[in-house]
Each structure stands twice: as structure tokens, then as C-alpha cells.
Amino acid sequence: MGKRLLRGDIALFMVTLIGMLTPGLSQACGCGCSLFDVRTGSMLPSTGEGGVAFLEYNFVNQDRNWSGSSSAPSADNSDKQIRTEFYTLGIQYMFNQQWGAVVEVPYENRIFKTDGGGGSIVRVRHEGVGDVRIKGIYSGFSPDMSSGLTFGLKLPTGDHDKPGFDRDTQIGTGSTDILLGGFLRGTVPGIKRWDWFLTGQLDQPALTTREYRPGAELNGVAGIYYRGWNLGGVKIVPVAQAIGSHHWRDCGSEANFADSGYDRILLSPGVEFHMNAVSLYADVALPVYQNVNGDQLTAQEIFTLRMSYSF
């Protein structure tokens, strides 16, 4: 990890950095109906053959109306709340130092509240398997596996026809998406036991259903963490991350073009505990900048808890 970057590493760094600074992607139904599919430093591939099985929980409560770069009156938006719990079961395995794969199967529990007319609020609930992601990993640009590419598909396994939900609030998009990403990591020069990482991913819908095409999504993470604390056999790793997201507008007659698409930046402090093969990770993502098209529901924070087992 501390070795000098190779030419391929530098190229990947530039691609990832440009992607993170490009304006515009995320999922449609208000800022954050789906989660950014990027990895923290601990979930980057290990330095050799082996795998990680993990169970992740995310909680998002979108109950604030937002327009442009500031909050807006709730009366301007007929939607009042989108509350979602994400449970993701996944496995990531490196077959050797160059090639690996990851599979993620989400289960989502969503409550949607909207204006039913006459002062009434309609509350509907939907839960089920979401859109499965299958990706390959290539980390052969440098001997220490400090850089790599990810590539794969998001499959239309989640339900996108639940009554009472608009297409942009369904737990599935109904689309098959191409996923293309990359990662880069290293040690902070001149500072012992501090590491940094960059990850990014483009989610580009390719095959869609009926008259709805979700906007493409681009997410990037820049992070830093400290590897120097140990307490009673437990390694404690504090993490600080900045997350950038851009979502292009949704298209089609079933889409809400005017109220879709946004940019946002979140800061995410977290901590990870390593106990031999078992790790426990937690963070909270806090928005520091949001710019949405039209009126969209946003969350004040996004909570993440993940337990993983290395083998």
C-alpha cells in the first residue's frame, strides 16, 4: 500500500477524481431513496485470496421538503415521508490477487406517506427483495492491490409495480443497469498508521420497462482512517469520509421529470471494530450540501451498521 503508484494507478485516480467532481446523479424519489453503492476502506479487496461475508443495515427517513439548495414548505410537496430500512446480505471473494467478485442482495422495508386530498394523508407500505447487484473486481494494476476496477450489473429483481407507489418510490427500478467503478488507496505521506482511499461508481440504466427510465447515478467517496488503536485485543479504526452524489433526471411518461435529479455532498464519521475475523462498522452520513430539481424529500441523516466475517 505504501509503494509508489504505477502508471495505471495514476490513470485510475484521475478517472475516479473526475467522476467525483462531475455534477449530477442519485436515485429518483427524493434525495436518497436508494443508497450510494460504494465501499468504505475496510470493504476494499484484501491483499490476497479470500472473502468477506457481510450483513448491512441502513436507515433513511426522508421527511423534509427541499427545493434547489434550501428547505421548502411542506405544502409545496404532496409527498410527506419516505422511510426506508435496507438490509443487505453480501459476499465478496478474491479468487487470487487480481480477480474477484461481489454479490449483494438487498431487502427493503419502505413506508410512504402522501397527500390523499381533503387534508388526509395516505400511508402505504412495501417490503421485499430489492435490486440485486453482481460485480466483478480487478485489482491487478499494482502488486499491492492498491487500485482496481469494478464492473457488473444491477438486476431488476425488486418489485416496481406496488399499488400506491409512484415509479420513483418503488423498491425496484425495473431496469437492468451497467455498473462501472474503481478504487484507489494508500498511506498518508509522512504520517504513520494513517491510510486514505477513493472509491467511485457509475450506475447507468441500460434496459428499462414500460415508460420509465431512472436517471443515471454517480457516487464517489474520499476517506481517511487510522490503524493505530488497540484495546483488549480489539482493533479500533476511526473513519472520516466525504461522499458526493449526482443523479440525472428520470425520463419517460411514468417519470416525474421536474422533481427528479440532484447533487449532494455528505460528511460521514464512523468507526470500525476488528476482532480477529469479525468486524463491526457503523457510521452516520450528514448532508452538508444538497441541490435538487423541483421539490423532493430529503433526510437529515443516513445511518449504517455492518457486520462482516473474513474467511
Nearest to 182 by CA among 146, 147, 217: 147
Half-sphere exposure of 161 (CA within 13 A, CB side): 5
Q: Is the pLDDT of residue 3 over 90?
A: no
Report pTM.
0.87
Q: Can you tell me the distance from the alpha carbon of 141 to that of 131, in angstroms, rounded to the nearest whole number?
A: 30
pLDDT score, position 271: 95
Q: Can you tell me the distance from the alpha carbon of 62 to that of 82, in angstroms, rounded to the nearest whole number?
A: 5
Q: Can you tell me the distance from the alpha carbon of 165 to that of 143, in angstroms, rounded to the nearest whole number?
A: 49
- Sorted by sequence, the CB contacts under 8 Å of residue 103 that are 6+ apart come out as 90, 91, 132, 133, 134, 135
Q: Is the pLDDT of residue 24 over 50?
A: no
Mean pLDDT of 31-42: 61
Helix (H) or strand (E) holding 122: strand 120-129
pLDDT tens across 253-270, in order?
Answer: 999 999 999 999 999 999
Mean pLDDT of 287-311: 96
> Which residue carries 435496507 as its cell?
86
Mean pLDDT of 279-284: 95
pLDDT score, position 279: 94
pLDDT tens across 128-160, in order?
Answer: 999 999 999 999 898 888 899 999 999 999 999
Q: Is the pLDDT of residue 17 over 50?
A: no
Domain 7-310 sits in CATH at: 2.40.160.40
Q: Can you tell me the distance from the alpha carbon of 151 to that of 266, in angstroms, rounded to the nearest whole number?
A: 25
- Cβ proximity of 311 and 278 under 8 Å: no
Report the percent of the chain where pLDDT is more than 70: 86
pLDDT score, position 112: 97
- Cβ proximity of 194 and 188 under 8 Å: yes
Q: Which residues partner with 299 through β-bridges?
A: 62
